[in-house]
Every structure is written in structure tokens, then in C-alpha cells.
A = this chain, B = another copy of it.
Amino acid sequence: MTRSADALRPHERAVTTPTGFDAGLWFIGRIRTPWHRRSDCPHRGDAETGPDCHIEVFGPWDAALAGVGAHENLQILYWMDHARRDLVLQNPKFGDSATGTFALRSPVRPNPVASSVVRLLAVDGPVLTVRGLDCLDGTPLIDIKAAFGAMT
């Protein structure tokens, strides 16, 4: 599930990361999906045909859900807490060359904030039912935003 420090693939490059952080995040909820191993997760979520997933919002933040039911689509930000953060060049498919992290959507990145636009199916108190996620069960939630236009 994790990529340990010695798991560099050919052509990949790691850098020395800064000591200390510049800003802090609160985990404001938890995402429930059918996937318990990294290898089971889809490459990208599908807001039309993907399985139903649940987003549990913790108090006191659940009060901020007022009005979300009016939106067909929501943008979800979540924290890929199992991903290493020091790779600048990655070789996702074990190919002949590597690609810069910022040209990819891999969970491996300096700040592992993932973003998906999901279809909202139901709101039941602090729990949303949605389609379009791609992450492991138990993934920490960072943000929910109204989504306009189509998907990224």
C-alpha cells in the first residue's frame, strides 16, 4: 500500500524535504469506500458508474453541510496519508523514463491533497452518499466545495 523510502523505480528521483511545515490541516471527516488495498483502488473515480461511497463529516464541521443537498456535484479534497512526499520524478508504469510529479495526478506528491468531483446522491445528517471517489477506505477528508462545470 505504501511506497517505502527504498522503493524507487528506474529513473525516479527523490529530494530532501524541508524540516517543519508552513501550514496545518485539520482532518474534518473520513471517507468510506469499498477499497482496502491500494491495488484495489480505481485509477480515477467515475461519478457515473462508480460504486456508492460515503463521506462522514465530523463535528463541529457538519454544520457547514447546510445547503449542500442543492448541488448535484461536489468537489472533494482528501489527504493521501499513505503516499510518500519526496518524489519529483515518477515512473508509474515502470517505463523507460520518468515524468515530473506536477505532470501527473499520482497520490505521491509534496502535498498529497487529492481532488475529485463527485455526484451527490444523498445527504443523511453528517453523512453524504456520493459516486466518483478513488481512494482507500478511511481516507481523511480535508474539504467539500460546490462544484461547477465538469470534472477534475
Residues of A within 8 A of B (CB): 13, 15-18, 20-28, 57, 60-61, 63-68, 70-71, 74-75, 77, 79, 81, 87-89, 98-105, 109-111, 113, 115, 117, 140, 142-152
Contacts and interface: CB of A to CB of B under 8 A. Distances in A.
- How many chain copies? 2
B15 A61 contact: yes
Given A26-B22, A115-B145, A89 B63 contact: yes
Nearest to A151: B149
A28 B86 CA distance: 12
Main secondary structure of the interface of A (DSSP, over half): mixed
Contact of A111 (B22, B142, B150): B142
